């Protein structure tokens, strides 16, 4: 166990969580390897001067998240599943988008790793009981859900999605909606229907790594336009579209991944105007549109569009769970028919059982209730993230201040020691997403994407404090100063 355990009785963080976090730190750093024995509840309670219930709660939390395992009569041990410093493909000299994406997905499951790399909701917040009730209901109609669904999507689910879309100012009939296997599949269908290998696609820089990976796989060429806090810089967009034929502009206007930026209403109107003048589609990825913390998100590009220039996509991956693989898109009519045909060719359609379950959950109002519950929790996590960055990063580091979504984008000074900051953090058992994979045309400036949705506040604090320590150490090495002593800062 940690040589010294720090307990701060005045902190907001409950004591059992403080204790659990310090065990995680020990395990992730390798100081407590798989199989190491934890002290007995009685012993640790007496040593720390806390109740046995506090220790039991700490151990219960560690056990439920897979860090430790208990065997009756033998004791409590670090889980045999814990792998410290596994060989991540993305930790090699060239971290490709595919390697980074593959690792991010695996890190979410890896024991002994704490990840702020994935822009995912916290599985602990999933409304399991309500959702499972809806799943159980399908048993009564097992014959009906046993077959294939229409390729466009279950009509009942499309009715519910049309209803939900009104919250985003989108007024469509169920017929206009195409259910997809997440936004990812919608984007793949668009890449196939709107472009040919060698074509140019415009995107924000930085943008969602999965999109860049996807279109490169289709042989398309992404070209980036810079972003400022109000959205894509329009002069740069115009320069590109005047110079060459682009097939579409992929944009995440609302709480963008990875920056968290939200495009201003004026910029949205100007972008629509530009798309009209030069005749290109805007592909609006609204995945984070309903994750607004401070004020309602601005109107979608789709709802402002008068000329069928916008194709709209979203899914339940950032609000319910990515594993559902259920999303939806709206496209102008002739294109929609082509997309349904491509969808049919791809996989015939999404699982009917899950579509009906989700439709029942939406019909009962489960989704809106869930959002009302999780938004304040995620807002607090955003706040803790920004406060901790403020107190733990050197002043040369900058970051975005998202008003929604799950991502924050950090920019470090271009100092050689910071170029491998991603790998340095991995060595300490913390995963962030390395910034270069989000850039259509990578440069040397070190960036990290930090996602704050999937960890509780005390874990976020600890991770950001550790990151701050690594940054200071690396900057000291670069400037020839002695590296500051590593201080395993107690929870604050």
Q: Return residues touching ligand PLP (CB under 6 A).
A: 119, 182-184, 208, 210, 252, 257, 285, 287, 315, 317, 322, 327
Q: Min. distance of Cβ 189 from ligand PLP in angstroms? A: 12
Q: Min. distance of Cβ 300 from ligand PLP in angstroms? A: 14
Would you say 7 and 48 are in contact if contact means Cβ atoms under 8 Å apart? yes
For helices 234-243 and 265-278, give the axis angle rounded to 10 degrees: 10
- Judged by beta carbon, residue 24 or residue 267, the one nearer ligand PLP is 267
Q: Which of 275, 332, 284 lies closest to 168 in space, CA to CA?
A: 284
CA–CA distance, 172 with 161 (Å, rounded to integer): 10
- Judged by beta carbon, residue 180 or residue 240, the one nearer ligand PLP is 180
- Judged by beta carbon, residue 194 or residue 324, the one nearer ligand PLP is 324
Q: What angle do CA 88, 89, 92 make, to 5 degrees?
A: 100
Q: Min. distance of Cβ 206 from ligand PLP in angstroms? A: 11
Instruction: Give Cα separations from 116 to 5, 342, 383 (angstroms).
Output: 24, 35, 15
Residue nearest ligand PLP, CB atom distance: 182
Please state, as a whole number, how many other Cβ atoms lie within 10 Å of the Cβ of residue 345: 11
- Judged by beta carbon, residue 210 or residue 404, the one nearer ligand PLP is 210
DSSP characters over 215-278: HHHTT-EEEEEEEETTEE-HHHHHHHHHHS-EEEEEE--SS-TTT-----HHHHHHHHHHHHHH
- Judged by beta carbon, residue 104 or residue 460, the one nearer ligand PLP is 104
- Judged by beta carbon, residue 58 or residue 330, the one nearer ligand PLP is 330
- Start-to-end Cα distance in the chain: 20
Q: Min. distance of Cβ 404 from ligand PLP in angstroms? A: 13
Q: Min. distance of Cβ 342 from ligand PLP in angstroms? A: 16
- Judged by beta carbon, residue 44 or residue 101, the one nearer ligand PLP is 101
Q: Min. distance of Cβ 451 from ligand PLP in angstroms? A: 9
Which residues, 6 or more positions from 266, have their beta carbon under 8 angstroms from its beta carbon? 230
CA 215 to chain centroid, in Å, comes to 20
Q: Min. distance of Cβ 392 from ligand PLP in angstroms? A: 26
Q: Min. distance of Cβ 210 from ligand PLP in angstroms? A: 5
- Judged by beta carbon, residue 79 or residue 256, the one nearer ligand PLP is 256
Question: If you compute the radius of gyration of the chain from its CA atoms, what whole number of angstroms results?
Answer: 24
The residue whose two tokens read 């590296």 is 483
DSSP lists the bridge partners of residue 71 as 75
| Two structure tokens written together for 209 | 């790594």
């Amino acid at each position: 166990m940690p040589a010294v355990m720090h307990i701060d009785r005045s902190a907001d963080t409950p004591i059992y969580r403080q204790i659990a976090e310090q065990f995680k730190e020990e395990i992730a750093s390798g100081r407590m390897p798989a199989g190491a024995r934890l002290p007995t509840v009685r012993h640790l309670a007496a040593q720390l001067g806390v109740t046995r219930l506090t220790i039991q709660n700490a151990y219960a939390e560690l056990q439920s998240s897979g860090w430790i395992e208990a065997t009756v009569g033998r004791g409590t041990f670090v889980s045999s599943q814990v792998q410290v410093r596994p060989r991540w493909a993305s930790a090699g000299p060239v971290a490709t988008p595919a390697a980074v994406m593959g690792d991010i997905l695996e890190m979410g499951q890896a024991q002994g790793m704490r990840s702020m790399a994935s822009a995912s909701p916290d599985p602990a917040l999933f409304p399991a009981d309500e959702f499972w009730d809806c799943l159980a209901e399908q048993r009564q109609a097992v014959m009906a859900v046993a077959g294939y669904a229409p390729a466009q999507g279950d009509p009942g689910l499309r009715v519910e999605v049309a209803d939900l879309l009104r919250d985003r100012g989108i007024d469509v009939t169920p017929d206009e909606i195409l259910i997809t296997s997440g936004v990812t599949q919608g984007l793949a269908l668009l890449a196939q229907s709107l472009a040919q290998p060698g074509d140019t696609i415009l995107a924000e820089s930085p943008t969602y790594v999965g999109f860049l990976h996807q279109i490169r796989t289709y042989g398309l060429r992404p070209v980036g336009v810079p972003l400022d806090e109000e959205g894509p810089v329009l002069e740069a967009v115009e320069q590109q579209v005047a110079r060459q034929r682009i097939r579409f502009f992929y944009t995440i206007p609302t709480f963008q991944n990875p920056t968290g930026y939200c495009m201003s209403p004026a910029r949205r109107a100007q972008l629509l105007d530009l798309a009209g003048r030069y005749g290109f589609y805007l592909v609006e990825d609204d995945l984070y549109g309903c994750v607004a913390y401070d004020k309602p998100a601005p109107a979608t590009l789709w709802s402002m569009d008068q000329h069928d220039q916008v194709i709209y996509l979203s899914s339940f991956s950032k609000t319910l769970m990515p594993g559902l693989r259920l999303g939806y898109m709206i496209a102008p009519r002739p294109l929609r028919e082509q997309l349904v045909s491509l969808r049919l060719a791809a996989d015939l359609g999404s699982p009917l059982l899950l579509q009906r379950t989700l439709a029942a959950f939406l019909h009962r109002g489960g989704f809106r209730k869930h959002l009302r519950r999780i938004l304040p929790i995620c807002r607090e996590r955003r706040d803790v993230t920004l406060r901790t960055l403020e107190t733990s990063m050197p002043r040369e580091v900058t970051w975005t201040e998202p008003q929604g979504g799950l991502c924050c984008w950090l920019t470090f000074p271009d100092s050689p020691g910071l170029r491998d900051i991603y790998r340095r953090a991995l060595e300490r058992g913390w995963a962030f997403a390395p910034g270069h994979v989000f850039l259509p045309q990578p440069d040397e400036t070190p960036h990290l994407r930090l996602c704050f949705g999937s960890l509780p506040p005390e874990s976020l604090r600890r991770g950001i404090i550790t990151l701050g320590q690594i940054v200071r150490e690396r900057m000291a090495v670069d400037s020839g100063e002695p590296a500051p002593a590593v201080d395993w800062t107690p929870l604050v």
